[in-house]
Amino acid sequence: MRLEFIAAIAVVSMVIVVVIWAITTANRFKTLLVKIAEADSGIDVALTKRYDTLTKLIDVVRSYARHETETMGKLVELRAGMRMAEKAELSGQYDALAQRLHVIAEAYPQLNSSENYRQLQAAIVDAEDHLQAARRVYNMNVSSFNQAIAVFPDSMIANQAHYTPQEFFAAQESKREDVKITL
């Protein structure tokens, strides 16, 4: 009887350990998903900040070159529901707009010397830095989650909960190419 009692306690203990492990693993997956959502929101905040700064810069540039600002209307669609690939595409459109504004500023020397313009240029650099940091945080959280659901034995819980790998914020193809500089 004593041996049966010890065996029963051992089995119950193992079941308890497995249940605690399963709950802890499931909670860790949920925590990682929350971190991914938070980082995704951080990208939205950074894109919004960049959009607002570019809008202000366009207002300054508009007084010098009214005909060059129609592109901004295309970039107004920046809100929830966008997949990471769509956000990456929108980010690329912002990059193109910023480059275009820089070319316009070069064509108007008086604009380049405007204090307002210089402050906005500095704000754009700050917004870009913030956006890059948000992308890194997002990709780091996605990497942690994707690794967690891929490794055994945690992958058993991930499969039961139907977790799938999350999408990274990837650079656009045009950004991966080598820059050609001609002098």
Query: Which residue ranges form the domains of the chain, and what is each CATH number?
Result: 2-148 (1.20.1440.20)
> pLDDT of the chain along its 183 residues, tens only?
788 999 999 999 999 999 999 999 999 999 999 999 999 888 888 888 888 877 777 776 666 555 444 444 444 444 445 666 676 676 677 677 667 766 766 666 665 556 666 777 788 788 888 888 988 999 999 999 999 999 999 899 999 999 999 988 876 655 545 445 443
- The pLDDT, as a whole number, for residue 123 is 80
- The pLDDT, as a whole number, for residue 127 is 82
Of 31, 33, 36, nearest in space to 134 by CA: 36
- The pLDDT, as a whole number, for residue 118 is 72
- The pLDDT, as a whole number, for residue 179 is 42
Distance CA 120, CA 27 (A): 44
Q: What is the pTM of this model?
A: 0.63
Write down the number of H helices and E strands in the chain: 6, 0
Q: Are 170 and 85 in contact (CB under 8 A)?
A: yes
Distance CA 118, CA 102 (A): 11
Q: Are 61 and 69 in contact (CB under 8 A)?
A: yes
Q: Are 45 and 135 in contact (CB under 8 A)?
A: no
Q: Are 97 and 54 in contact (CB under 8 A)?
A: yes
